[in-house]
């Protein structure tokens, strides 16, 4: 087959890897001048390793990503430290990444701590998530752990991820998935995630595929031999096309989609993401990697991630790397900010974490933003997800909105890319 893939993120590159390995002709079209999508990295002259634009790690249970890395012959480049993940509450940072630390979390009563531990254990052991999508996470968790624990622990998480407009509508199956497979050990790749992306690109090209960067697809149309992709440098035809872009991007570029399928794409809601990355001359916190922040008031972001409390600063020229990240509704004013404006907004939150922080600690800074970063799974969401096979013959959709109930992440991007590649081949073979 001659297959076109829209998007050189992990989903698109994994699909391209599998298809080229089977001998199919594949061209990947990426609008950006770099591959990797949300997992892409960037670099600085001071650094030996690249750094992700948006903070990333794997869990020890992420078997799809681990399996692909093993296939690529790069298992020795994957390692699993155990950093400290924490919660900020009323001026203090509390480690919160083990049963012992949950029991030591004094802002809630001992009875509530025991309830949180038992409920977490129950959700980790539960296998059948389907009944949970009939209930909201807000409703289920409040009833399970009580008002105080919900208000301190899990309501802030829901608001941080989905904002005031959506947090009460997110279903419990999504929340279950966040707890079910997570592990205290977190995986990373030597050289950063971009090193894995580059390895995937190299393997796709070595197997006969092509990865075209700075090549945005402007339209998808029917053609005599399948589908025609409208490109800046001239149109290309393929017998099958896998679109790994957002639902809205597919909708905008495919005028021939039937109205009912297009309406399903339009109905999918999502949050965008904004991240400020700081290279500091000294450490911000004492050993905390990930700090969940209760966004609101003078806390203007949902997470502070001190990457170099996870991966040693030696790989970044001695810089101490800090992310301040937030999920925002598409169209939020922050998407139009520059990094200086965003830093001004975020400074009060940074100083809540470390009152001694001064701006002269900053050696360099960067800002990254994506309008499509976090799908919003509402009640009965499994019934809302459009099929991978679109009504336009030969056109397939594979994006984060379809990895439900799992949260977005590179492990599920690998799984999704492999699934849709297999579907495309099976369809062509009539099986």
Are 124 and 264 within one domain?
no
The pLDDT score that the predictor gives to residue 227 is 97
Are 393 and 419 within one domain?
yes
The pLDDT score that the predictor gives to residue 6 is 98
Are 117 and 169 within one domain?
yes
Instruction: Tell how far CA 313 is from the center of its chain.
Output: 24
The token pair at 330 is: 């598409």
The torsion angle over the Cα atoms of residues 396, 399, 404 and 407, rounded to 10 degrees, is 160
- Residue 407: DSSP 8-state: P
Assigned domain for 343 exists: no
Domain that holds residue 41: 2-50+191-268+385-429
Assigned domain for 363 exists: no
Number of structural domains found in the chain: 2
Residue that finishes a domain, picked among 180, 204, 229: 180
Other beta carbons less than 10 A from residue 185's beta carbon: 14
Residue 69: closest CA among 248, 232, 193: 193
Are 158 and 106 within one domain?
yes
Please tell me the total number of residues recorded for the chain in this structure: 431
The CATH number linked to 390 is 3.50.50.60
Q: Using CA atoms, how far apart are residues 38 and 272, in angstroms rounded to an integer?
A: 11
The pLDDT score that the predictor gives to residue 3 is 98
Please tell me the pTM assigned to this model.
0.95
pLDDT digits (tens, 9 = 90+) for 221-239: 999 889 999 999 899 999 9
Are 166 and 211 within one domain?
no
Q: Which residues in the chain show pLDDT less than 70?
A: 431
Are 256 and 398 within one domain?
yes
Are 162 and 215 within one domain?
no
The pLDDT score that the predictor gives to residue 268 is 93
Assigned domain for 250 exists: yes
Q: How far is CA 50 from CA 47, 177, 190, 228, in A?
A: 7, 29, 9, 36
The token pair at 141 is: 């968790």
* Pairing label, strands 270-280, 25-29: unpaired
pLDDT digits (tens, 9 = 90+) for 41-63: 999 999 999 999 999 999 999 99
Are 110 and 166 within one domain?
yes
The pLDDT score that the predictor gives to residue 431 is 67
Assigned domain for 341 exists: no
């Amino acid at each position: 087959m001659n297959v076109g893939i829209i998007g050189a993120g992990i989903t698109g590159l994994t699909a391209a890897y599998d298809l080229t390995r089977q001998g199919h002709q594949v061209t990947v079209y990426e609008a950006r001048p770099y591959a990797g999508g949300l997992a892409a990295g960037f670099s600085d002259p001071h650094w030996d390793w690249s750094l992700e634009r948006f903070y990333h790690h794997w869990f020890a249970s992420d078997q799809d990503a681990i399996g692909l890395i093993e296939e690529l012959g790069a298992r020795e480049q994957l390692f699993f430290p155990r950093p400290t993940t924490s919660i900020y509450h009323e001026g203090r940072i509390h480690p919160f990444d083990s049963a012992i630390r949950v029991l030591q979390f004094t802002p809630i009563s001992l009875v509530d701590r025991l309830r949180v531990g038992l409920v977490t254990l129950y959700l980790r052991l539960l296998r059948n998530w389907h009944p949970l999508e009939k209930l909201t996470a807000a409703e289920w968790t409040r009833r399970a752990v009580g008002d105080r624990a919900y208000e301190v622990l899990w309501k802030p998480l829901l608001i941080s991820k989905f904002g005031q407009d959506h947090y009460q509508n997110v279903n419990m199956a999504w929340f279950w998935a966040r707890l079910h497979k997570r592990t205290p050990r977190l995986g990373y790749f030597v050289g950063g995630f971009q090193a894995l992306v580059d390895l995937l690109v190299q393997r796709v090209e070595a197997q006969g595929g092509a990865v075209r960067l700075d090549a945005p697809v402007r339209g998808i149309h029917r053609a005599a031999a399948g589908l025609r992709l409208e490109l800046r440098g001239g149109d290309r035809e393929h017998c099958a096309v896998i679109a790994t872009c957002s639902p809205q991007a597919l909708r905008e570029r495919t005028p021939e989609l039937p109205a009912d399928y297009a309406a399903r794409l339009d109905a999918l809601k999502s949050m965008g993401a904004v991240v400020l990355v700081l290279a500091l001359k000294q450490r911000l916190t004492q050993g905390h990697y990930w700090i969940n922040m209760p966004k609101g008031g003078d806390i203007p972001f949902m997470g502070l991630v001190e990457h170099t409390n996870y991966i040693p600063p030696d790989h970044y020229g001695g810089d101490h790397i800090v992310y301040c990240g937030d999920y925002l509704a598409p169209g939020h004013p922050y998407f139009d900010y520059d990094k200086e404006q965003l830093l001004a907004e975020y400074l009060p939150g940074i100083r809540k974490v470390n009152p001694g922080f001064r701006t002269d600690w900053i050696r360099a800074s960067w800002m990254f933003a994506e309008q499509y970063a976090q799908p919003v799974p509402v009640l009965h969401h499994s019934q809302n997800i459009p099929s991978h096979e679109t009504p336009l013959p030969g056109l397939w959709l594979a994006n984060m909105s379809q990895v439900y109930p799992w949260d977005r992440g590179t492990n599920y991007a690998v799984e999704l890319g492999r699934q849709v590649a297999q579907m495309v081949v099976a369809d062509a073979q009539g099986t």
